[in-house]
A and B are shown apart, each in its own frame.
Chain A
Amino acid sequence: MTRDLIRAGLLWLALTVVGEYLVVSVDLYPAAMSDKGEEIDHAFTVLMAMAVPVFSLVVAVVVYTILAHRVHGLPEQDGPPQMGRGTLPVAWLAITSGLTALVIVYPGLTSLGPVVGVEDDADLTVEVTGVQWTWLVSYPDEGVENVRELVLPVDREVKFEITSLDVLHSFWVPAFFMKIDAVPGRTTSFSLAPTEEGEYESNPMLRVQCTELCGLSHSRMQVPVRVVSEEEFASWVSEHGEDDPQASPDGVLTLDIAAKDLLFDVETLEAPAGEVFNIRLDNQDEGVLHNVSVYSDESADEVLFQGDIFAGLDAVTYKLPALDAQTYFFRCDVHPATMTGSLVVE
C-alpha cells in the first residue's frame, strides 16, 4: 500500500508538473486587446493553474489503479475493504472547502470589481443599438449617428451604452473579451479601454458579434471594429459627423422607393449610366429602421453606396455616385433577408 501511494503520488506529481508547464508555456488565449480583457485573461490563467493538480489527482488514481491492479479474467478476490470513514473524508472536506474559498476570493471576487465596473466619466461614450440583424453605433458627443462600424481611439476609456429595438441581442467584441446583452427597454453598459490598434480585416476577433440567439440571421449579425490612433479617430469623426454630404438633394434624377410593413414597394430601380442620381427612401414603418445600400451583386461583398439608417416615419434623399452600366443589388441593411432588389443602370 505504501509503495502504491508513493508510485501514484509520483504519477500525480509528474502529471501536475507537465500540466503546469503547459499552462505557463502554451498561450491558450489569443491576446486580449483591452484593459478588461487582460484582467480576464489573467483570471483564466490562474484558474487553469489551480485546475491542473485537481485534474491530475483524479487521473493519477484512475490510471495507476488500472495499470497496477486491473484483473484479467474473472475477479477472483475482492479489493481491500476501505470504507472511507474517519479522518480522510474530513480532510477532503477541509481541502476542497479551502480551495473553493480561494477560487471565490481569488481570482473571483478580486477581479469582479475591476472587470464589471462602469467608468462614469469615460473619455468617450458610444451608444450601441441591436436590431435584427445588425448593430447601429452612435457617438452622441461627436455627432455621429447610426454607423455600422465601431471605431475607437486606442488607450482611451470608452463607455458603451447598449440597448435593443426588438429582441434580445448580446454585444460582444471577442478581442476585448467583454460582452453584455442588449435588452429591449433597458440600457446596459460597460466600459473598457482598447490597448492595441487593429482592424477587422486583419483580425476577425475585432468585430461586434451578436451572441444571444436572435432569429434568422443571428450568426451574421456583426459589424467591424477598428481601433485607431487619436488623430485617425478625429478625422474619422469629422468625416462621419453631423455635416452629412449625403443629405442634400439637387436637380438630378430622383428615384422613389418606399418601405412599408418591412418590405420595399418596388423590386427594381432604373438609373442612367455615368450620372449621379438620388434615391429618396420614404420610410413608412413607424419606429422601424431602414436604409438603402447598393452592392455590386447579391453577395453584398462589395459595397458601392451605403445609405444612413433612419427610423420611420421619415424620408431621406440619398445622393448616389455615377455608376457603370450594370445590374446592381440593393437592400435594406437592417433587413437584408427580406428587403432587397435590383438597381439597373443603363
Chain B
Amino acid sequence: MTETHERNTGFNWAVALEPVVGGLIGGLIGFGAGAGLVAIGRALAGESLWSIELSFVVGYTLGLPGWLLGVGLWERWGREWLGLETKPGPHGPARYFAFSTDHKVIGVQYLVTFLALFLLAGLMAMLIRVQLLQPDGAVLDDGMYNRVMSLHGIIMVAVAVAVVIGGFGNYFVPIMIGAKDMAFPRLNALSFWLIPPVAVLLLAAQAVGGWDSGWTSYPPLSVQNASGQVFFNLAIITFGLSSILGGLNFLVTIIFMRAPGMTWSRLPIFVWSMFAAAILALTFTQFFAGAMLMVTLDRVAGSVFFDAEAGGEPLLYQHVFWFYSHPAVYIFVLPGLGVTLEILAHFSRKPLFAYRWAVGGFLGIVSVSGIVWAHHMFVSGMNESLLAPFLVTTEIISIPTGFVFLSAIGTIWMGRLWLRTPMLFALGVVFNFLIGGITGIFLADVPTDINLSDTYFVVAHFHYTIIGGEIFALFAGVYYWFPKITGRMYNERLGQAHFWLMFIGFNATFIPMFWLGLHGMNRRVATYSGELQDVNVLASVMGFTLAFSFVIFLVNIAWSLLRPVPKAADDPWFARTLEWRIASPPPEENFVIPPLVTGGPYDYGVPNAPPHGMFAPAGASDEVQ
C-alpha cells in the first residue's frame, strides 16, 4: 500500500532492506553469544557443546534483542541511552521496511503482514480440507497432518490477535481521537518488530520436526514431542510481549491523547472496543507466556510442572493456558465488533443505537471474561464442584454480549441502509456472530458440552465467532478505510462479489461442521469414519469457494492500487468521524490544525447536532469539557 508518486521516483531495495539486514546481523551475533554461553557451560560440565533445545532457547533469548537493536531500535532509541543523537529513519516507501515510529506506517505494517499470514494459514486450511475429502487421509501422513493443523491454528490465532488491533488500531485510534501519534511511538515500533521473529520461529519449527500438539499445546504431549515445540513456545512468549506492550500503549493513548472536547461519551465506538481489548491484552497475555515458560523449563531444565509421576500435574497447564486463552477470544472479537458498530451507524445513516449500553457491553464482557476459563475444561477431569460455577459465569457473558446486539439491530432498524461493501461485511458480522454466540450456549451448558466438547461442533462454533465476528469485520474495515489509507477507491463490484462468495462459502463450509460434530466426528483428526465422507466433501468444496473469494479480494486490491486514476475523495462515505475530515491519505502529522471535538460521532439525522469535530485555529483553548 505505497503511494504512487513515491513509487514513480523509484524504489531502492538496497536502502529498504538495510534495517532487516542489520536486524539479522544483530540477531545472529546475539544467538551466537547465547549458544556460546551454553557451550561453555556444557563443556565445563563435560557434556557435548550443543544441545538443540537448550542452545536454541538461550541463543534465541539473546538473539531477539540483537535483532531488535539491529533493525532500528539502536539508531532510533538506544543511542539516546548513551547521550548520542538518534538517527532518523528512511523516507518514502522504504519506511514500511524500517523501524518507523509513525503509527500509520506501523498500522500498514501490521495489516499487510497479518493479511499475508492470514492467506498463508488459509492455504494450510485448504490442505486440511483436501485431506478430509477422503476418510482414510490419503494426502498427508498422520504426523504431517497434525503439524499442518497445529501451524494453521497458531498462525490464525496470531492473526486474530493482531490484525485488527495492530492494523486498524494503530492506524485509526490516534486519528479518531484527534491525536498526532500514539502515546509511545517507539514502543509501538518495538511491538511490531517483535512480530517477524514470531513468524520465522513458527515456520522454522518445521525444520526440526514441527510440533503436533495443536495451538493449545497441552502437556504431557508438548513436553515429549519434537523440538519444534520449543520454537512454538518461544514464538508465543515473543508474541505475548508484543501484545502486552501494544495493550499498554493503546490504553495510555486513549486515556491521555484525546483531542480537546473528545470526552469519553464522544469516543467513536471502535476506539472503545480497542480500549476494552487493550485492557484484556495487558492483563491476561502473560498467563499464556507463563504456561509456555513452564513447558519450556520442563523440556530443557528438568522441571516437572506437568509430569504426574514426579509429582507434577497436567491439569495445571490447562488452567493457566485458559486464564489467557479465553479472554483472548474477546481480544479477537471486541475490536471486530467495534468496527462493525462503527460501520453500521455510518451506513445506516443513524446514531449508534444505545451507545452507552454498547460501551457497557464491551466493558461488561471485559469484566466477566476473566472468570469463565474453565468452561474449556468441563471434560478435563477437574473437580466436579467447578462445573456449576463456570456454567453460570459463562452463560452470564451473554448479557453484555446482548447489549452489543441491541446496539447493532437498533442501529439497523429503520436505517437508510447503504449497502456498499463495508456495510455488507458488517451485516455479515451480525448474522455470523449471532450463530457463533448462540452455538456457544450449547458449549457453556455442561450437559450438552460433555458430548460436543472436542468435536467438529466446537470447530464450527469458534470459526463462527472468529471468522464471523472478526475476519468479516476485518474485511469490512479494509474496504471502509481503504480509500483513507491509500487515497484510492476499490472496485465496488469486485468488493461485493468478494462479500457474497465469502459469506456463502463461509456459511456453507461451517454449517455442515455442526452436523459432523453431532454425528461423531471429533476434531484434529487426520482420518474419520467413512459414513461422514459426503458431508466432509461438501465442507471441503465450500471451503475452496471461501478461499477463492480471497482471490477476488487480491485482484481488487491490485486493480485499485495499479490503475492510473489517482484519488479517492477525502470523505467518500459522508461519515462524521475525524479520520474523514482529513486528506486521503492522511498527512504525516495527521491534523494540520489540531481538531476540536464539539459533538457526538454518530449524530446522523439529529436536529441541530453540532459537527463531531472542527478545526480550531492554533492556540485555541484546549479545555476538555
Using CB atoms and an 8 Å cutoff, list the residues of chain A in contact with chain B.
1, 4, 8, 28-30, 37, 39-40, 43-44, 47, 51, 54-55, 57-59, 61-62, 65-66, 69-71, 74-75, 77-85, 88-89, 92-93, 96-97, 100, 103-104, 107-109, 111-112, 115-116, 166-168, 170, 172, 174-175, 177-186, 188, 204-205, 209-220, 337
User: CA of A336 to CA of B353 in the docked complex: distance in angstroms?
Assistant: 61
Contact pick for B442, options A47, A92, A166, CB 8 Å: A47
Query: B426-457 toward A: CB 8 Å interface, digit per residue (1/0)?
Result: 01001100110010011001111011011100
Q: How far is the CB of A108 from chain B (nearest CB, A)?
A: 5
Q: Which residues of B contact A97 (CB under 8 A)?
A: 399
| CB-CB nearest 10 A-B residue pairs | A185-B308, A84-B354, A78-B605, A219-B525, A174-B520, A188-B381, A84-B353, A79-B350, A177-B451, A96-B402
Q: How far is the CB of B211 from chain A (nearest CB, A)?
A: 10
- Min Cβ gap B511→A in Å is 12
A214 and B221 contact, Cβ closer than 8 Å, known pairs A58-B434, A92-B402, A178-B451: yes
Q: Is the CB of B349 within 8 A of A116?
A: no
A-B residue pairs in contact (CB < 8 Å), sample of 28: A44-B448, A47-B445, A57-B409, A58-B430, A75-B416, A75-B418, A81-B350, A89-B357, A89-B406, A104-B395, A116-B446, A116-B447, A116-B450, A167-B221, A168-B221, A174-B520, A177-B450, A181-B381, A184-B220, A184-B309, A188-B381, A204-B520, A205-B519, A209-B522, A212-B218, A213-B212, A213-B216, A219-B525
Query: Nearest chain A CB to B322's CB is how many angstroms away?
Result: 14
Residue B379 contacts which of A78, A166, A170, A337 (CB distance < 8 angstroms)? Answer: A170
Residues A61 and B314 in contact, CB atoms below 8 Å apart:
no
Contact B354 A89, beta carbon cutoff 8 Å: yes
Q: Is the CB of B395 within 8 A of A103?
A: yes
A219 touching B221, Cβ below 8 Å: no
Q: Is the CB of A103 within 8 A of B441?
A: yes
B396 at the interface (CB under 8 A from A): yes
- How many Å from the CB of A48 to the closest CB on chain B? 8
Q: Across the interface, do A4 and B414 meet the contact criterion of CB distance under 8 Å?
A: yes
Q: What chain A residues lie within 8 Å of B528 (beta carbons)? A: 219
Complex Cα gap A179–B430 (Å) = 33
| Shortest distance between the CB of A254 and any CB in chain B (Å) | 35
Asked if A108 contacts B379 (CB within 8 A), the reply is no
Query: Counting CB contacts under 8 A, is B301 at the interface?
Result: no
B471 sits at the interface (CB 8 A) = no
| B-side contacts of A29, CB under 8 Å | 518
Contact between A55 and B434, CB atoms less than 8 A apart: yes
Most central of A40, A88, A337 by chain B CB within 10 Å: A40
Structural contact, B605 and A80, CB atoms closer than 8 A: yes
A177-B574 Cα distance, complex, nearest whole Å: 54
Query: In the assembled complex, how far is the CB of residue A220 from the closest CB belonging to chain B, in whole angstroms?
Result: 6
- Whether B447 lies near A30 (C-beta < 8 A) is no
Q: A65-B413, A108-B391 are known contacts. Are A47 and B448 too (CB-CB below 8 A)?
A: yes
Report Cα–Cα, A82/B345, bound state, in Å: 11
Q: How far, in angstroms, from A175 to B529 measured CA to CA in the complex?
A: 13
C-alpha gap A195/B206 in the complex (Å): 47
In whole angstroms, how far apart are the Cα atoms of A172 and B521 in the complex? 11
Instruction: Please give 12 more A-B residue pairs, beta carbons under 8 A apart, in addition to A78-B605, A107-B445, A215-B213.
Output: A57-B409, A62-B431, A65-B414, A71-B416, A75-B416, A81-B605, A104-B395, A182-B381, A183-B315, A216-B146, A218-B526, A219-B526
| Partner of B518 from A4, A28, A103 at Cβ < 8 Å | A28
| B348 cross-chain contacts in A, Cβ below 8 A | 79
Candidates A43, A55, A79, A215; contact of B221 at CB < 8 Å: A215
A263, B523: Cα distance in complex, Å: 30
CB <8 Å contact, A92 and B406: yes
Partner among B313, B396, B450 whose Cβ is within 8 Å of the Cβ of A115: B450
Q: Is the CB of A112 within 8 A of B446?
A: yes
User: Do B218 and A116 touch across chains, with their CB atoms under 8 A apart?
Assistant: no
Name B532's closest neighbour in chain A (CB-CB): A204
Q: Does B604 contact A (CB under 8 A)?
A: yes
Task: List, in ascending order, chain B residues with CB within 8 A of A80's CB.
Answer: 350, 414, 605
On whether the beta carbons of A109 and B350 are closer than 8 Å, the reply is no
Q: Does B32 contact A (CB under 8 A)?
A: no
Q: Is the CB of A107 within 8 A of B447?
A: yes
Contact check, A183 vs B381: say whether CB atoms are below 8 A apart: yes
Query: Out of A79, A84, A168, which one reaches B349, CB within 8 Å?
Result: A79
Distance, CA A323 to CA B410, complexed state (A): 76
Instruction: Please determine whether B525 and A83 come into contact, CB atoms closer than 8 angstroms.
Output: no
Flag if A213 contacts B416 (CB, 8 Å). no
Task: Pick from A83, A111, A174, A211: contact of B353, CB below 8 A.
Answer: A83
Contact B218–A213 (Cβ < 8 Å): yes
Known: A185-B309, A213-B221, A219-B526. A77 touches B416 (CB 8 A): yes
Q: A47-B442, A219-B142, A220-B142 are in contact. Are A40 and B448 (CB under 8 A)?
A: yes
Residues of B with C-beta under 8 A to A215: 146, 212-213, 221, 224-225
CA distance A108 to B390 in the complex (A): 11
Contact B414 A168 (CB under 8 A): no
Q: Is B387 among interface residues, defined by CB-CB distance under 8 A? A: yes
Contact A96:B399 (CB < 8 A) given known A205-B520, A218-B146: yes
B290 within 8 Å of A by Cβ?
no
Q: Is the CB of A75 within 8 A of B349?
A: yes
**What distance in Å separates the Cβ of A151 from its nearest Cβ neighbour in chain B?**
19
Q: A30 contacts which chain B residues (CB < 8 A)? A: 518-520
Residues of B within 8 A of A (CB): 137, 142-143, 146, 212-214, 216, 218-221, 224-225, 308-309, 313-315, 347-357, 379-381, 384, 387-388, 391-392, 395-396, 398-399, 402-403, 405-407, 409-410, 412-419, 427, 430-431, 434-435, 438, 441-442, 445-448, 450-451, 453-455, 515, 518-520, 522-531, 574, 603-607
User: For A74, what are the chain B residues with a Cβ–Cβ distance below 8 Å?
Assistant: 418, 574
Task: Find out whether the CB atom of A79 lies under 8 angstroms from the CB atom of B415.
Answer: yes
CB distance from A167 to the nearest CB of B (A): 4
Query: How far does the Cβ of B162 sit from chain A's closest Cβ, in whole Å?
Result: 25
Partner of B214, one of A83, A186, A213: A213
A281–B308 Cα distance when bound, in Å, is: 29
Shortest distance in angstroms between B38's beta carbon and chain A's nearest beta carbon? 27
User: Are B414 and A69 in contact, CB atoms less than 8 angstroms apart?
Assistant: yes
Contacts of A204 in B (CB 8 A): 520, 529-531
A98 to chain B, nearest CB (A): 10
Smallest Cβ distance from A4 to chain B, in angstroms? 6
Bound form: Cα–Cα A176–B497 in Å: 44
Query: How many angstroms between the C-alpha atoms of A166 and B431 in the bound complex?
Result: 43
Closest to B451 in A: A177
CA distance A172 to B450 in the complex (A): 9
Q: Which of A39, A51, A81, A170 has the most CB of B within 10 A?
A: A81
Known: A109-B391, A112-B388, A172-B522. A185 touches B314 (CB 8 A): yes
Whether A185 contacts B313 by the Cβ 8 Å rule is yes
- Contacts of A180 on B, CB cut-off 8 Å? 379, 381, 450
CB nearest to B445 among chain A residues: A108
Q: Which residues of A are found within 8 Å of B451, using beta-carbon distances?
A: 37, 40, 174, 177-179
CB atoms of A84 and B410 under 8 A apart: yes
Contacts of A96 in B (CB 8 A): 398-399, 402
A256 to B438, CA, bound (A): 60
The minimal Cβ–Cβ distance linking A120 to chain B, given in whole angstroms, is 14
Taking a contact as CB atoms closer than 8 A, the residue among A43, A57, A69, A111 that contacts B415 in the complex is A69
Residue in B closest to A65 when the chains form the complex, CB atoms? B412
CA distance in complex: A81, B354 (Å):
11
Is B388 within 8 A of A85, CB to CB?
A: no
Contact in complex: A83, B574 (CB < 8 Å): no
A209 to B214, CA, bound (A): 18
Contact partners of A104 in chain B: CB under 8 A: 391-392, 395-396
Residue of A with least CB distance to B391: A108
Chain A contacts for B399, CB-based, 8 A: 93, 96-97, 100
Known contacts: A62-B430, A84-B410, A219-B528. The answer to whether A179 contacts B441 by CB under 8 A is: no
A78 touches B212 (CB 8 A): no
Contact A218 B524 (CB under 8 A): yes
Residues on the B chain within 8 Å of A61, using CB: 409, 412-413
Interface pair A179/B445, CB less than 8 Å apart: no
